[in-house]
Structure 1
């Protein structure tokens, strides 16, 4: 945790009807900021309780990372009692987040129209593969499907090889982040405006599009004649900017501006520094192989990756090693930023999870407690509802 003593979303109540990744990441951020998040789970639990790495029958590292600090209530939405419990919770809630198959909640009488009639202040965020409008409205899908349709997978790999699935969950996590931002925007509008909530429509497809940076604009400006696609280890439009082999390991550097290139060229030697045909980005793009070869030969000549990174950093050139995933949590930047705080866990004592990706100077954000056992808070929440209904 960071910042002051008060969590910025303290007092905000969230009903969480999400599973697996996109929705739970959104509600994890809300919980980290102090909202009370009541996670509604089916009798068998969120399927992510059984995803690797599994710790026990209903507990996994996957689930713990995405659900720390939440409350768990079991409700079977196939029954009238389960639907009634959700309705009771929503009457006193600020936000409902769901990523069920589009239309399934409406069929149960839990659509936005039904719920907002009972609680006009309710903000309901619906996360789906393709959203609630357009020709694909209601079509089921997952992150990899959205990444395929969005062109993200086509941008990964080498130009002479097949497109490669992304090694990280871009569409899902991005949708969770955008849902979080949309919820905060709507809370601000509601509380500064007319006091009425609204329905938010977040699509994994849309959430994957901003990662293309300039690719779509290249197509537009080029009148449809440009075909941005995968470019191996380097950036399509900036040189040098990519991954390089120092012989004993890989490193990244970003020296695409002419100013940074001049610094790098001075390290690479007089032959490169004095080459006028490499002085501009267009010139370097035209001779990618020559530039890459010069960088990699230099890195090997100075003793390998770590020494190359040290010299590049000393010259003010953005650079760094390509870290193995297993080494990231114990790396200097991660330790110094508390990027992997430990949360208590009833099964194994404690587990390091990914922290909230932002810090606040006057507010407390971060995991507020362990991930719940399945149905751990059902009695607590139902007792509270009974008291409120008296």
Structure 2
């Protein structure tokens, strides 16, 4: 499996244009800009320059600020040798022995091939403009501010191994596995974490790998073949389209996944998109949650409730008043505009975290080259009470054949508290 198209650039050697271009593409595959560029939407503050850091990332231990990874010699990585760069990316250790917090997905990046690592180094040293801008200092409370403790964390939880292609699989499967497990670091969001914030698996041989996780108050869905809350009912073409434009099979990207589509997915080659989709479609169903009954009679029953205004279904009235205009009485939305709620894996996921946050904050769909026009979902923080949000989400999670756990008002109240909304 070819991971590199040019001769590696060793430290101190001049980087050629092809190698830098290759590194630029790899940086998009890894979505480096997603974490290391502070690009808030809407009103000021203004976005920071590319890769200048300064993005606040929520963690169970406090806010972690991302670093400047431009080649500025004072505030960035301009003085890094290749060995410095490689150790920081793969092992989470910056020059001087400073340990990086595992918000940096170095356990996944440890699998990046040597050729790809050299290309990334060439790009960040010769293809990125230096920015003389310091990043805010991460100040976590004790004992999490003691970085020496990360040495033990790394020993216990951070694998140090390159990706090894499987001889019993095709080149396309291996390419997809490499992109998902290494550069794409999909498990950083889509794999559950343990009490020490460690990912509960780093490849498809681990039973919890890609079965869904929660980060920064967003729930990343199950990517295994579960037909209800996973990808079981999506085709490989659906998955590739979703990664490219943020829409596929009636689904729409939201939350932090929007930035992944905009910074990474839309720039992937069709071959890489197909490889990722093909790999994901081979993952067996795991960590089943919720249920979707596809019997048309179930959908018709919900449509009847909404059209007759039956009051015995709490939340139906709220749905009619605020949601039906876009998502419609049949819950099928409009392809390329508004996502379907009927049969949506996120709707029947074990946790309604993302749904609650969406209703409180609102959101938008991805803006991609050649993709559908972005749509915005309004915030309901000032329109709906905690009880009304809980009721409408409980209704949606159990309408049209959806079957999932109800949402309690205290769940909404807790989310408002952490979001300060």
Normalized against structure 1, the TM-score is what?
Answer: 0.30
Task: Indicate the structure with greater strand content.
Answer: 1
Question: Considering only CA atoms, is the larger Rg found in Structure 1 or Structure 2?
Answer: 1
Normalized against structure 2, the TM-score is what?
Answer: 0.28
Task: Indicate the structure with greater helix content.
Answer: 1
